[in-house]
Every structure is written in structure tokens, then in C-alpha cells.
């Protein structure tokens, strides 16, 4: 799996990291990411899905309810959040690839509270895989890689390949959080 850490540390730009990539690499990385998370949750049970872990660093400035801004996220919350991010960047990347100018966010997140079983977590991941891979089929043979947008200053202006990759990088940044939640949930079970 590609390590996006150098981008997070601003040692390299996202555009530099993905230079020369095509939809082939994006498909491969999407499958690797979903497979990685599926492997992480392979031994989880329903009790682990909404287990509330200890997380003294919990900080969600985007929380819809200010009272929840410093509450730790459950496994279901992280999976709903990361899959929504990957789908959003995939949808926007398909538009950029087709020559559509950026016109705003395209985010839809499954309410994490509705994910109550490990099977629902697995299904959410597979649905997200299907949606993201399908978005790549919307790209023209010659994508408009001169059509760019800057999602936030730290990554700079990105073409469709870079934009899709932001979702993968974001998801990768949550892998340790997923591992920590699972470790605490398993310890609580024993």
C-alpha cells in the first residue's frame, strides 16, 4: 500500500506522489484499502461495533452536535466517516476527469448510529468499494487532468487522480484509530 505519510508531513505534494498514476493504480489502491480494513475487523464481533473506546485526543470540529465534538468514535463511526470521504473524493474526481468544474462538495454519510453489527460494517465497506470502483468507470479514456481544484491548502491544486487519492490518504490516516478501537474492544470482552 502507498504510504501517504510523506504528504501529511508535507515532504512531498500529493501531485508529486501520484505523478504518472492512472485509474489502474486507483483501483488497486482502493481494493488494498478496503481489504486492509476488512482484515482489521475480521475477528470483530457485534459487541465491538459500538464499543466506546478511551480516546483523550478525541476532537471533531465538524461534529454536528457540539456536545459530541470531544467524544471518542466507535468502529461504526470511523467506518461510516472514512467510506463517506472515499466516496466523496471518488465522485468529485470523476467529475474533474470528465471536465466538469468543481461546484461544491458531494458528501453523503451513512448515519453511524444505524450500523450496529459487524456484518453491517463489512457490507458498508463492500458497498463503498463498489461505488468507488464504479466511479472510475465514469472517467473518459483521456481524462481532463488539466481540470483541477484545491480541496484545502495543505495538498494544493489537484487533478482527478490526486483528488481521488485524497480519499485514500484520509482513510489511511484512520487505520491506527481503527486498530486502537479494536484492541480496546477486544480487551473489554476478555
Query: Taking the chain, what is the end-to-end CA distance rounded to the nearest angstrom?
Result: 32
> What is the structure's pLDDT at 158?
96
Give the pLDDT confidence score for residue 66 in this predicted structure.
82
Instruction: Please identify, in words, the CATH class of the domain defined by 5-189.
Output: mainly alpha
Spatial contact of 37 and 185, defined as CB atoms under 8 Å apart: no
Residue range 128-144, pLDDT digits in tens: 999 999 999 999 999 99
Query: Which residues, including other chains, have CB under 8 Å from residue 61's CB and lie 6 or more apart?
Result: 69
Residue 81, H or E segment: helix 75-97
**Model confidence at 56: pLDDT above 90:** no
48 alpha-carbon distance from chain centroid: 20
Distance of CA 10 to the CA centre of its chain: 19
Q: What is the pLDDT of residue 1?
A: 79
Q: What percent of the chain has pLDDT over 90?
A: 76
pLDDT for the residue numbered 10: 86
pLDDT of residue 107: 86
How do the domains of the chain map onto residue ranges? 5-189
Record the cell numbers describing residue 151, joined without a space.
480541496
- Each residue's pLDDT tens digit, 60-88: 887 777 878 889 999 999 999 999 999 99
pLDDT of 65 reads: 79
CA gap 30, 44 in Å, rounded: 22
Amino acid at each position: 500500500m502507498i504510504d501517504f505519510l510523506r504528504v501529511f508531513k508535507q515532504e512531498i505534494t500529493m501531485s508529486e506522489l501520484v505523478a504518472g498514476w492512472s485509474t489502474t493504480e486507483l483501483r488497486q489502491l482502493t481494493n488494498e484499502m478496503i481489504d486492509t480494513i476488512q482484515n482489521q475487523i475480521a475477528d470483530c464481533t457485534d459487541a465491538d461495533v459500538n464499543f466506546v473506546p478511551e480516546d483523550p485526543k478525541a476532537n471533531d470540529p465538524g461534529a454536528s452536535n457540539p456536545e459530541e465534538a470531544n467524544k471518542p468514535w466507535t468502529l461504526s463511526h470511523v467506518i461510516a466517516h472514512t467510506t463517506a470521504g472515499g466516496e466523496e473524493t471518488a465522485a468529485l474526481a470523476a467529475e474533474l476527469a470528465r471536465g466538469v468544474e468543481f461546484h461544491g462538495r458531494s458528501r453523503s454519510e451513512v448515519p453511524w448510529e444505524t450500523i450496529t453489527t459487524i456484518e453491517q460494517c463489512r457490507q458498508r465497506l463492500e458497498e463503498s468499494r463498489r461505488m468507488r470502483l464504479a466511479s472510475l468507470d465514469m472517467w473518459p479514456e483521456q481524462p481532463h487532468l488539466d481540470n483541477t481544484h484545491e480541496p484545502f491548502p495543505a495538498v494544493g491544486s489537484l487533478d482527478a487522480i490526486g483528488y481521488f487519492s485524497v480519499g485514500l490518504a484520509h482513510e489511511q490516516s484512520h487505520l491506527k484509530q481503527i486498530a486502537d478501537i479494536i484492541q480496546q474492544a477486544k480487551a473489554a470482552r476478555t
